[in-house]
Structure 1
């Protein structure tokens, strides 16, 4: 139970609604910022303006999955309010105060460091990433079907990256009958790809490997599908970039060449927000109890 804890939840998409329900059911008191356009009534939950929050009374904060922008601004889907997270705000918080975010950036990393507050990046956790790979795979399959004129079965698919999401996507497309090749850099990943019964290739060979593909699925959040790579692709190739913004594709050149390239980060929040939200809610409930409640009680 999270009885007595005061939690601020700022912005986010439909996944946050399941997080709110989970934490409220555990008896936490929740202040919502950036949800005034949403019709949401739940016991122990109040909608507030960012400027009215007394952060000295807050025990932790939950940011949107995307965290903050490079200037500290937080994107609010259900509000027009402008919210900027600053060091001045964090230094008001108690010493055990914890910041929870999906992903982070240099601004947020440095902000937490300067204020000496704990920063937890949920998507760097294996459990969250693996659970989230399930709706991500389903969303990728949905997009591949919607934006092609051929079946996945029998098509040539290249998956770039063998992280937790890349592995799940490669396996799923293989089971749907696609001829899957996977690009990676580490020798152990190339060995794993072989063990999975798929074709491995080193990413330095990417330009040669895309010459016969129908679908390219990128999971690497760095510019890897560049103009030189896109120039070698067949004109009908579909590029699905599911890496975090801004992705790893030269979308300008893809458009110039007439190749359909789609940036689709945060697929779990689009195709299965309830499932994705429950995953985050369960993990957050455990973390807050272990990290915040116990540290607060020990003081």
Structure 2
């Protein structure tokens, strides 16, 4: 990958990524947007440096950039046509903008390799959150895992490995079948209220309102709900508060618990994307 790579630093993942890329001999420019008071200054620098950029790496999610309208304006007016853009969870407006301009871009969260590798870091971080906030041990505890995608599957398997009694709630029959083949007790959300009885913890991975009042009201009052789904999550947080149950929406777990490993995951994805674009240009 020749030319300058611009990184918008929103967490330690980008810090380590800059270190990795620099050690590989790449020209890297970092713009730190973690301080809200200096974001405008950093975006002005982005506007200035974009003309010579080969790659632009945005945060995961891209919405971590506080000034979204300003970012979109810069992408529209100052981004060179041949600059490769990478980030996580682009908004629909950003996708339309990049498509309209013919800019080649990669959403890290749509790279299947990234999501599978990130699921491991997410699962380990989720267990750390459960350990920190639940009054119960994981071993022997009844724990509900809602959703059985990459993250749900990884979390359920690691919890089982720690001795938890895991129940998977999933909407689609084929997903429940897969969970059962993996050795889990799996049911439809219609049975959620029944399964909630006696559960010490609940981990939601579904980015839709699935942990609703009918489930929450059946949980013990000392249960802990961890929601790791995309904002705003899939839990009725107001209802949980009403029943005195702690419920946390925790996003960006890989960047919090395994930032360097996550940085290597992103670097490999960048390499694959750049190689693919290079082969297309030949």
1:50 aligned to which of 38, 43, 59: 43
Change (3 A) 1:212 1:132: same
Cα distance in 1 for residues equivalent to 2:196 and 2:218: 6
Q: As a proportion of its length, which structure holds more helix?
A: 2
1:152 Cα deviation after fit = 0.9
Q: Is the 8 A contact 1:216 1:239 kept in 2?
A: yes
Name the counterpart of 1:145: 131
1:35 Cα deviation after fit = 5.7
Name the counterpart of 1:59: 54
TM (norm. structure 1) is 0.84
The reply on whether 1:268 has 2:257 as its aligned counterpart is no
Name the counterpart of 1:30: 28
Name the counterpart of 2:16: 18
Cα distance in 2 for residues equivalent to 1:98 and 1:204: 45
Q: Is the 8 A contact 2:106 2:273 kept in 1?
A: no
1:89 Cα deviation after fit = 3.3
Cα distance in 2 for residues equivalent to 1:114 and 1:253: 42
Q: Is the 8 A contact 1:87 1:114 kept in 2?
A: no
Q: Is the 8 A contact 1:100 1:121 kept in 2?
A: yes
1:156 Cα deviation after fit = 0.6
Cα distance in 2 for residues equivalent to 1:9 and 1:66: 14
Change (3 A) 1:149 1:54: closer
In the alignment, structure 1 segments of 5+ residues that lack a partner are 38-47, 76-80
1:11 Cα deviation after fit = 2.8
Name the counterpart of 1:202: 188
Alignment of 1:63-78 (within 5 A): 63-68=58-63, 74-75=65-66
SS of the residue corresponding to residue 120 of structure 2 reads helix
Deviations 1:184-204 (A, max 9, x none): 122221111111111011123
In the alignment, structure 2 segments of 5+ residues that lack a partner are 36-40
Cα distance in 2 for residues equivalent to 1:94 and 1:162: 40
TM (norm. structure 2) is 0.88
Q: Aligned-pair RMSD on alpha carbons?
A: 2.3
Q: Is the 8 A contact 1:91 1:115 kept in 2?
A: no
The reply on whether 1:251 has 2:237 as its aligned counterpart is yes
Deviations 1:19-78 (A, max 9, x none): 1122223332222222697xxxxxxxxxx8432324232222111111126xxxx14xxx
Cα distance in 2 for residues equivalent to 1:261 and 1:36: 26
Instruction: Give the number of equivalent residue pairs.
Output: 275
SS of the residue corresponding to residue 167 of structure 2 reads strand
Name the counterpart of 1:100: 86
Task: Flag as ranges the 4+ runs of structure 1 deviating above 6 A.
Answer: none
Q: Is the 8 A contact 1:64 1:102 kept in 2?
A: yes
SS of the residue corresponding to residue 85 of structure 1 reads helix
Change (3 A) 1:185 1:35: closer
Name the counterpart of 1:284: 270
1:114 Cα deviation after fit = 2.8
Q: Is the 8 A contact 2:111 2:269 kept in 1?
A: no
1:213 Cα deviation after fit = 1.3
